[in-house]
Every structure is written in structure tokens, then in C-alpha cells.
Structure 1
Amino acid sequence: MATILIIEDDIAIHSLIKEALNLHGYSTQSAYSGTEGKLLFEYGHVDLVLLDLMLPGMNGEEFLQDIRHNSTIPVIVISAKNDQHSKLELLTNGADDYITKPFDVKELLARIHIQLRHATLASVSSRKDIQYKNIDVNLDTREVKVNNQTLHFTGREYAILLLFLENPQKVFSRANIYESVWNEPYFDSDKTINMHISNLRNKLNREDTNYIKTIWGIGFKFD
């Protein structure tokens, strides 16, 4: 049974989410401030976080930034902010998904299911560690090192990296990457893919080494 941490200070919304999750077999933990959420996250077992942004104490952005130093647990942001800039900024800073208030409970449940499935597949793939040039990935702990320096990735960035590492030299179109990592049909998500590829490049590139090559008019490959 997956445990989901709900960090939401609106009591009505919090109760709605909690009831829906419990009805669908999830275990839940409740926090009504970012500070309380951080304590529950650090001292309990959590498989996924539902995170509001406008919180008393530590806000959602601060919470996300804090946990991304040492955790790749999936985080779905639930916010009234619906502008494209806010969504892209949150995804860039470590959120795995973003849903806007007011939301459909069935859509939220579907997004939770997808994120948990991705996390499970990544952890189950603990066949052996992956080594490629000066990149080392521990598939049990999801720790990634480049030149023995530990780097931190969001859940989606990590999944894209594994896709590349397991298929070096293979050229992936944006649609290939999206459908493999998001596990849903591709629908003109060039901005989303480009953003994640850019983030991966910025984190991986050391000593002028560019691992991800752009194949113009087609997509990307790992070299």
C-alpha cells in the first residue's frame, strides 16, 4: 500500500483528497503547513507527496527545494496558479507533475497512479548498477555520480537518464521520450521535453563533456 503525504492547508480540499485516496486503497499522512510536511517527510515513510504552494510557515516552493537535495520521491503540485511560467518553473525546480485547482478527483488519481508506477518501475529495475564512461548509477538507491560527484535529479529527469543509459547511441524522438517516460500518448510536448533535456544537460555536463547530442530534425541520443 502506497503512502501519500498531503500538504494542504485548505481543510475542505485536504479532506476531499484524503477521502478519495483512502477509498482507493492508499494510506495517507496529513500536514497543514510546509514545516509540518517536512517533519512528516523526514521521519516517516512516504511514497508520493501532494503539495500545495501557498502554505503557512515553509511554503511549497521552499519545501520542494529542500527535499530535492536528497530525494527523488514523486511530488505532484496542486495549485491555483495556472500560468505557464509558474508550471514550468515548478517542473524545472523538481516537481514531477502539476495540477491546477479546481481539479477533477479522477484526474488526480490517474496522475498519482502514473507517478507511483514510474517510481516502482525505476526501483524494480535494480538488476545491476549502470556505468557509462564517467557516469555511475546505483539502481537500488537511485544515486547518480559523475566523476564521483553525486548529482540530484527529479523523477522524470532520472527516468530519461536511464532511458538514454540503457540505449546509448540510439536516437530518440521527443515522442519516443515522452511516451516512454510519461507512459501516455504524445501531444505536442516539445517544450516539456526540451526543458527536461536542458536540465539534464546542465547537471551532467562536466569538463566540457556533452553527453546528450541533438540530432537535428529527429531528436536526441546519448553519446
Structure 2
Amino acid sequence: MCTAAFSGTEGLMHLAGGAGMGAASAAVAGAPGSGASGAAGASGDFHLVVTDLMLPGMPGEEVVGAARAAGLPVVVLSARTAVADRVDLLRIGADDYLTKPFDLEELLARCEAVLRRSTSTARAASVPSPSAGAVAPPLRFGAWELDEAARRFAAAGIPVRLTRTEYEIVRALMAEPRRVHTKRSLSAAAAGDEVALEDKTVATHIGNIRAKLRPSGTEDYLETVWGVGFKLRDGV
């Protein structure tokens, strides 16, 4: 079920009433032909926000920030296609985005994929290890440490806040540090199903990760293998 909001302000009102009750179905702000809409569960909670950026009342970026604060995944719709715009969208917390014009079937598929990722992440965090009391050791690479149990990542001892997609990309790289990961394989690791991220989206996420690593001086751990994908630097 979809709950419509015709402005950014109205979208935030829905989030304040729904997400505050526990975050459960899909709120859509800025849907084609309206301004905002969303899918709500019977309880009135929301699972997902889809928002345009050009909204009456307030910009979509503020809706994204409110959704992320409520712990909800976000899909952004935008007519902006410049690399800088895509980088900004992902930095403010978008899990995925579609540029206009787009096919509604693809929008639905991407929403379903983001919801599956979100659900599987929550399930993994809540299910105890099969070995009673056993906790998997953190993944380490050079000055990086990724604690999968706590879903925390640090570089040179500095906590690094990653989006869900960025975290999955870093985890895939650290799990097989000597492998050259194609954009397709990193996309599959991030998406977890057949609705893959676009190659340019994967590259943008890598750029965002590098930017977040600069304070630790470890951004050069990420190497681009031109024409193939990405890997972690040898000799670390």
C-alpha cells in the first residue's frame, strides 16, 4: 500500500507519524505525477522512502536526511545526471537512485531490491550465531578493521560512517583482499540480487568511500583496475 505526500513538508509529517511507530512499508515522496507518495503498512509505519529532489515545501535532500535519521532506506528520483550530483545524492544517504525519465517497472524492482537488502541486514543483525556465544573475528586489512557483528568500520582507529551500500562494498573487498573485484561482482555484493546497481553507481560509491577515508590517510588502499573494477592495494 502506498501513502502519497504532495510536498516535502507533507512527506515529513507522514514520516514523523509512521517511522516514529517503528519503521515498517514504503513511503514515497516525489513520485511521478504527484509530488510525494508512499506505501504504508496496516500499522501506518513505513519501510522505504522514494523521493524526488525538486519538491514543494522543502527540498528532497531534507526528506532524505529525515528518512535516514528514522532508519529508513531511500531511493531518489532525479533529473540531475552530473557526476557531482550523483555523488552528493549518495553522500546524503541515498541507497539507490534513478535518473529521469525512467520505467516504472524498474523503479518497482529497485524498491523491492532495496527492501530485500534492508530486511536481510536487519535479520542478520538480529539472528545469533549458530555457535553459542561465538563471535566472528573482525575483518582486517592494513589499518582497516570491519566488525561484522556490530556492523562497524574503522580506518587507522577512526570510525568511518558508511551507508549500507558502502558497507557491503567494503565488506566484499576485505573478505577477498587479493581479488580484483569487477563492478558487476561489487554490485551483486551490494544489491544481493539480480537488480544490480549501474556500473557508474558502483564507481560513485567507491569515490564516496575514498573521500570518507581521507582523514585516516588510507584512501589509497582502494585501487582502480581500469576496464575491470577495483581491488585492495598489494603490500598493505
Amino acid at match of 2:179: K
Query: Any unmatched runs of 5+ in structure 1?
Result: 11-30
| Range with greater deviation from structure 2 (97-106 or 208-217) | 97-106
Is this contact kept in 1: 2:53–2:61, CA < 8 A?
Answer: yes
Q: Which residue of 1 aligns with 2:80?
A: 83
Shift of 1:147: 4.0
Match of 1:199 in 2: 208
Number of residue equivalences: 196
1-side partners of 2:150 and 2:163: how far apart? 14
Give the superposition deviation at 1:91: 3.2
- What is the CA–CA distance in structure 1 between the aligned matches of 2:151 and 2:185, rounded to whole Å? 23
Q: Does 1:179 align with 2:174?
A: no
Do the aligned partners of residues 160 and 103 (structure 1) sit closer, same or farther apart at CA in structure 2, a change above 3 Å counting?
Answer: same
Does the alignment pair 1:222 with 2:232?
Answer: yes
Tell me the CA shift for residue 140 of structure 1: 4.8
In the alignment, structure 2 segments of 5+ residues that lack a partner are: 24-46, 130-135
Q: Which one-letter code corresponds to 2:48 in the other structure?
A: L
Q: 1: CA distance between counterparts of 2:59 and 2:49? A: 14
For residues 125 and 56 of structure 1, do their structure 2 counterparts lie closer, same or farther at Cα, with a shift above 3 Å needed?
Answer: same
The 5 Å alignment of 1:98-109 reads 98-99=97-98, 105-109=104-108
Instruction: Determine helix, strand or coil for the equivalent of 1:152.
Output: coil
Q: How far 1:198 moved relative to its partner?
A: 0.9
Distance 1:41 1:154 in 2: 22
How far has the Cα of 1:72 moved from its partner? 6.2
Q: Which AA in structure 2 matches 1:142?
A: R
The percent of aligned pairs where both chains have the same amino acid is 32
The alignment's TM-score, normalised by the length of structure 1, stands at 0.67
Q: Which residue of 1 aligns with 2:113?
A: 114
Q: Does 1:162 align with 2:171?
A: yes
**Shift of residue 192 of structure 1?**
2.0
Structure 1 contact 173–219 (Cα < 8 Å) conserved? yes
Tell me the distance in 1 between the aligned counterparts of 2:9 and 2:212.
Answer: 33
Aligned 8 A contact 1:35 1:57 in 2: no
Give the CA deviation at 1:83: 3.4
Contact 2:75 2:94 in 1 (8 A): yes
Deviations 1:94-134 (A, max 9, x none): 21222467765543332221112222333444554633144
How many Å separate the matches in 2 of 1:58 and 1:49?
Answer: 15
Whether 1:43 and 2:41 are equivalent positions in the alignment is no
119, 130, 134: which is aligned to 2:138? 130
Q: Is the 8 A contact 2:146 2:154 kept in 1?
A: yes
Give me the whole-angstrom Cα distance separating, in 1, the residues matched to 2:13 and 2:101: 24
1:214 alignment partner AA = T
- Could you tell me the TM-score, scaled by structure 2's length? 0.64
